[in-house]
A and B are shown apart, each in its own frame.
Chain A
Amino acid sequence: MSDTKDIEMKAPEANDIEDLVTDIQSSFSLLQKVATTFDNRYITKLFRGLGSLSRKLKQDETSLSTVLTNVYGSIESKSYIFEYIDASTIPESESKKSEVLPEIDLYLHLLVQLYLLDSDQIDKLSSFNRHVVSLMKVYNRRSLDFIYAKIWFYISRATELANDLYWIRPELLYAFRTATLRHDTETVASIVTILLRNYLLTKDIDQALNLIEKSEFPENANTSLGARYYYYVARIHAIQLNYSLANECCITAIRKAPQTKFSVGFIQSATKLSIIIELLMGDIPELKVFKTNEFEPYFMVTRAVKVGDLKLFDQVLKKYKADFVKDDNYTLISRLHQNVIKTGIRIISLSYSKISLKDICIKLHLDSEESTEYIVAKAIRDGVIEATINNEKGFMQSKELLDIYSTKLPQDEFDQRIKFCLSLHNDSVKSMRYPSENLKDDTKNSETFEDEFELLKAIEEGDLDDFMD
């Protein structure tokens, strides 16, 4: 990540301050359009340029202050904003504007946030955020929804970096309530994910669980937010031993994640989680999942589980403990201990139709014959193997394999696939966009048409820089 940033940063060096100022100011016209038309797609377009804009902002600080003075000038109530940027070069501006458009107002706050975040001034950012939070309570306009969502994201990012996670919770919950009442899906989605992340960072699993039980994630929210949401939900379910549900959510998360270079980290951690969940369910993930080096610890764990070797598993666990702790997966992985034994038993039951308990005990490095009997019995009860134990003679006998086509398993499998296809079809029909009636009359007006076209193009390219962290 940092390498690519460095390269990109060299390019705008040649740009003048003037360029950046006009850049920012030209975005105001877009914001004005949003304010009058209430078409939030303009904001989507605006945010697409946010990534490169923030990099430019870091380059030269003066332009931001220039813009801020131009807009806020001598408005008394906004003077606090200048404390947070390097205000030494403020040119005295004569223009007096009585009021600033709320869209522009918040957008500028967002830019200040970005600037502070990029230049590592976390303390300043934290105190600035408190101003922003109170400011956001003032406005109530639908056109602000997207900006709100974005601002909340950066606020929570700042609290994470400052390691001060608790103060923001009541604010988030308050904002969550108002956003829900206003049917502001974008902000709701954003806040739910932020809250979940906040809870998970402090390991307050029960609170996170309460949140997902009592709230509903808006269906038509941004997909990248959806991806994040499902990832957190998967994690919560996994901790609760609810593996099949966790697996579903995890796969949805990976599918929903945008395929850009910014989301590589997210996909990686989601894949790691999915590997563990699959192992916990007793499945072995496919080899192609492990194609990059990043997954080496997970590959080793999978191998240990696959051969059912307890000793190897313990070695791997010890060797890579730091990696697992870093990924927050250590407790989940240490649960795999029992799965190692179970796969061991499964392999034995597949290869032998009849085997004495003593041999199983030796093969799996278990402590005693008696414990072997219990463990095998438990495996049978959990449905890992189909077998019976003969207690008097002390052997395990595998049952003959059933004809799988006489059961309802294939039926269920088909049912699942058909349902998936049908819902895919339905979803794609639902997400189609049609031009609205009054827009058709306007098509003669070439400017609007061009605008519309550009917007669609922007949306099609579709990545949001949300995954930058």
Chain B
Amino acid sequence: MSLQSITQELYGTFEQEDYEKCQQLLVPLKIELIKHNLLVPITTDSTTKDQINDFKISQKILEIGALSSLLLNKTQVFENYYSHLKPFYSNSKIHLKKEHNTTSTKIISLYLLLLLSQGLVSKFHIEVEHLTFFQQYDLDSDKYLQFPINLEKHLMEGNYIKIWNLLNDENNLPCKEYIMFVDTLVNALRYEIAKSLEKTYATIPISNCKNLLYFPQEESDMIFEESLKEDLGMNWTFKNGYVFFNSSTDDNDEFKHDKSNKIITNVLNYAEQIESII
């Protein structure tokens, strides 16, 4: 099969939302792309109009690959596609015009979201910083790019209610691919909240706790306790309708031992140094 025919078929299957088939088609297609030297955009190659158009097509193919793998919940594959796409996005000849609410910004923002849901905040910031270099991406007004950036901002502030509202109303999501992340993000959100609760309160009524963690009120306490332990790994005790947070006091002894050890090593070190000076 030639490159063109598979590409046409891929477009068709993607339209029909048959993502499994897309994945199958992509394997021979990528090999074809390599044969035509189109998988990696090399700056010296992208001079004529035809070449740039070819690269645009291969970018589109890879974008379909990224989206379809994401919709099948294969995040690892999505990441691979993203690293393939990265040189395309940073090639200023392929992306001459301003990118505003396009597939490219959508995929970038999905990748950012993936990093956030995995808790890789520093990588997230590296990516954002990288984007500021390119004129064609407008971080402040692009609806796709705005989403993860706002999310991170609220997360750092602790403004969890805003995130909850963002995630819970599907109308707020710029496109359907984001739904894939909602579950993981909600879980990450609950974990963050639980961590804060632990430090902030000595004790709290169970119903309030459910409220704060956005668990449905009707859920029985047993299930609530279960899911706390299962999903979040929190070890809290329930008593008389209150939640008690176990403050860590038992390792105090060890801590003190550690402290005196440290002082001894420090002082010995000073003595050694001073002796060498004299």
Contact = CB atoms under 8 A, between A and B. Distances in A.
A and B associate in one complex: yes
Nearest to B139: A331
B122 A337 contact: no
Contacts, number: 101
B3 interface: no
A145 to B, nearest CB: 32
A374 B205 contact: no
Contact of B159 (A371, A391, A422): A371
Contacts of B202: 388
Interface of A: 166, 202-206, 209, 239-242, 330-331, 335, 337-338, 341, 367-368, 370-371, 373-381, 387-389, 391-392, 408, 411, 415, 418, 422, 425-426
B128 A331 contact: yes
A377 B200 contact: yes
Interface of B is mostly: helix
B208 A392 contact: yes
Contacts of B132: 203, 330-331
Nearest to A382: B158
A203 B133 contact: yes
B251 to A, nearest CB: 15
B204 interface: yes
Contact of A204 (B130, B159, B204, B262): B130
Top 10 nearest A-B pairs (CB, nearest first) are A378-B158, A203-B133, A377-B196, A240-B122, A377-B200, A205-B126, A381-B196, A375-B158, A374-B160, A381-B199
B46 to A, nearest CB: 13
Interface in B222-278: 259, 262-263, 266, 270, 273, 277
Given A209-B126, A375-B157, A411-B263, 5 more contacts: A239-B129, A240-B122, A335-B156, A415-B266, A422-B270
Contacts of A415: 266
Contacts of B125: 239-241, 331
Contact of B200 (A388, A418, A422): A388
A377 B259 contact: no
A422 B277 CA distance: 9
Contact of B130 (A205, A241, A335, A425): A205
Nearest to B153: A337
B121 interface: yes
A302 to B, nearest CB: 19
A296 B54 CA distance: 50
B159 A392 contact: no
20 contacts: A205-B126, A209-B126, A239-B126, A241-B122, A338-B156, A338-B158, A371-B160, A371-B162, A374-B159, A376-B158, A378-B158, A381-B196, A381-B199, A387-B200, A388-B200, A388-B201, A389-B200, A392-B205, A392-B208, A408-B259
Interface of A is mostly: helix
A205 B196 contact: no
Contacts of B43: 166
B158 A379 contact: yes
Given A371-B161, A375-B159, A378-B157, A206 B200 contact: no
Given A338-B156, A371-B159, A391 B201 contact: yes
B133 A367 contact: no
A342 B163 CA distance: 19
Contacts of B52: none
A374 B161 contact: yes
A271 B122 CA distance: 23
A391 B205 contact: yes
A116 to B, nearest CB: 25
A338 B200 contact: no
A240 B120 CA distance: 10
B74 interface: no
Contact of A203 (B123, B129, B158): B129
B98 interface: no
Contacts of B262: 408
A205 B160 contact: no
Contacts of A378: 157-158, 192, 196
A426 B269 CA distance: 14
B25 interface: no
A380 B195 CA distance: 10
Nearest to B258: A408
Contacts of A204: 130
Interface in B188-223: 192-193, 195-202, 204-205, 208, 212
Contacts of B199: 377, 380-381
A376 B196 CA distance: 9
A425 B123 CA distance: 39
Nearest to B272: A422
Contacts of B126: 205-206, 209, 239-240
A68 to B, nearest CB: 33
Nearest to A342: B157
Nearest to B204: A391
Nearest to A426: B273
Interface in B139-192: 153, 156-162, 192
Contacts of B259: 408
A418 B266 CA distance: 10
A84 to B, nearest CB: 25
A176 B133 CA distance: 26
B47 to A, nearest CB: 15
A374 B270 contact: no
A416 B208 CA distance: 45
B21 to A, nearest CB: 34
